[in-house]
Structure 1
Amino acid sequence: MNLFRQADFDGFVQTLPGTRLVDQWESRVAKVGDKVFALMRPDRQPNRLVVKVTEESFEILTALDGIEQAPYFAKRKWVSIGEGAPLPEEDLRYYVTRSHQLVAAGLTKKLRTELGIPV
């Protein structure tokens, strides 16, 4: 699996409850309850993944080569991860999943229940 490939990105994020995919901002965007939790920029070199992270993870990740504050998202602790960044695939899946959890936590209980997300 390579989350920097659209088919793998799509397949993985669709395993997370309440996810829908749209093409927006010249990107493949994963949303939960109409809120973005991840996007992939396959047209960029290197390919990029953008996800929401905790404040602690933001500080750690942005200190690594190939990972930076995500443009337009940085105020809310979003990072842009380049394909060459020193993160194994398992870690990338963790951060995409964690981003889903962080964004879903901001949804109403009613909507989380409707989307099949544990309350």
Structure 2
Amino acid sequence: MTPAQLDEACLALPAATRVVQWGGSDVYKVGGKIFAIAGLAGGLMFKVTDLAYEVMTQSGMAKPAPYLARAKWVSFDDLAALDAGEVSDWLRTAHGLVAAKLTRKQRAELAL
């Protein structure tokens, strides 16, 4: 997956925004809450379900994300090595998990 494909996939999600933070990382948010981070040493981090976290980290597919593992985030070192379709599905899930935690009022304001 290229950075442009990642940007397109994230920003295609409802009410998703991108900001540049932490020394040039692309931080993708919904309702002000982060669902994915790209650019930290060329990698990608995002939120996953509890089951996906266990499968991805125990199989060696992904690593627990630094500082975010307790919240069930995974990390990939090389964005270019990832399949664009698969990553798009993971990002859609990450977006949904984070959006579900927003208040009812926030979801209504964002038309989610």
TM-score norm. by structure 1 comes to: 0.83
Q: Which residue of 1 aligns with 2:9?
A: 12
Whether the 8 Å CA contact 1:39–1:51 is kept in 2: the answer is yes
Given candidates 27, 30, 40, the residue that maps to 1:29 is 27
Q: Does 1:71 align with 2:69?
A: no
Amino acid at match of 2:47: K
C-alpha distance in structure 2 between counterparts of 1:100 and 1:77, whole Å: 13
Q: Alpha-carbon deviation of 1:53?
A: 0.6
* Alignment gaps of 5+ in structure 2: none
Query: Matched residue pairs, number?
Result: 111
Whether the 8 Å CA contact 2:33–2:98 is kept in 1: the answer is yes
Q: Which residue of 1 aligns with 2:38?
A: 40
**Kindly tell me: are residues 84 and 105 of structure 1, through their superposed partners in 2, closer, same or farther at Cα, counting changes over 3 Å?**
closer
C-alpha distance in structure 1 between counterparts of 2:47 and 2:73, whole Å: 4
Q: State the 4+ residue runs in structure 1 displaced beyond 6 angstroms.
A: none
Q: Does 1:92 align with 2:87?
A: yes
TM-score norm. by structure 2 comes to: 0.87
The structure with the largest helix share of the pair is 2
**Kindly tell me: are residues 97 and 24 of structure 1, through their superposed partners in 2, closer, same or farther at Cα, counting changes over 3 Å?**
same
Farther-moved stretch of structure 1 (75-84 vs 102-111): 75-84
C-alpha distance in structure 2 between counterparts of 1:23 and 1:85, whole Å: 20
C-alpha distance in structure 1 between counterparts of 2:58 and 2:79, whole Å: 14
C-alpha distance in structure 2 between counterparts of 1:79 and 1:101, whole Å: 16
Root-mean-square deviation (CA, aligned residues, Å) is 2.0
